[in-house]
A and B are shown apart, each in its own frame.
Chain A
Amino acid sequence: MAWMAWTPITAAFFGCIFLMLIGMGIWQAVSPTVPRRGFLPLTTTRGDRLFISLLGAAYIHLGWLAFTDAALWIGSVIALVWLVIVMRWG
Chain B
Amino acid sequence: MNKITNNKAWFLVLPVFFIVAISAIIPLMTVVNYSVQDIFDPQTRFFVGTEWFEQVLGDSRLHDALIRQIIYTLSVLFIEIPLGIAVALTLPRKGWGVSASMVLLALPLLIPWNVVGTIWQIFGRADIGLGGYLINLMGIDYNYAQNPMDAWLTVLVMDVWHWTSLIVLLCYAGLRSIPDAYYQAAKIDGASRWAVFRFIQLPKMQSVLVIGVLLRFMDSFMIYTEPFVLTGGGPGNATTFLSQFLTRMAVGQFDLGPAAAFSLVYFLIILLVCWVFYTVVMNAGKQGEQ
Report the minimum CB–CB distance from B32 to chain A (whole Å). Answer: 5
Q: A42-B283, A55-B268, A59-B272 are in contact. Are A4 and B57 (CB under 8 A)?
A: no
Per-residue 0/1 for A31-52: is the Cβ within 8 Å of any B Cβ (1 yes, 0 no)?
0000000000011000000010
Q: Provide the residues of chain A in CB contact with B30, threshold 8 Å.
A: 3-5
**Please, how many residues of chain B have a CB less than 8 angstroms from a CB on the other chain?**
25
Q: Provide the residues of chain B in CB contact with A9, threshold 8 Å.
A: 36, 47
- Contacting pair A62 B32 (CB below 8 A): no
Q: Provide the residues of chain A in CB contact with B37, threshold 8 Å.
A: 5, 7
Report the minimum CB–CB distance from A29 to chain B (whole Å). Answer: 10
Query: Out of B36, B42, B283, which one reaches A2, CB within 8 Å?
Result: B42
Give complex CA distance A13, B32 in Å. Answer: 10
- Contacting pair B36 A65 (CB below 8 A): no
Q: Provide the residues of chain A in CB contact with B39, threshold 8 Å.
A: 5
- Contacting pair B50 A72 (CB below 8 A): yes
- Contacting pair B33 A62 (CB below 8 A): no
Per-residue 0/1 for A49-86: is the Cβ within 8 Å of any B Cβ (1 yes, 0 no)?
00100010011001001100000100000000000000
Identify 6 new A-B residue pairs, CB closer than 8 A, beyond the known A4-B26, A5-B33, A62-B265: A9-B36, A10-B36, A51-B275, A55-B268, A59-B272, A62-B57
Instruction: Give A residues with C-beta under 8 Å from B.
Output: 2-7, 9-10, 13-14, 42-43, 51, 55, 58-59, 62, 65-66, 72
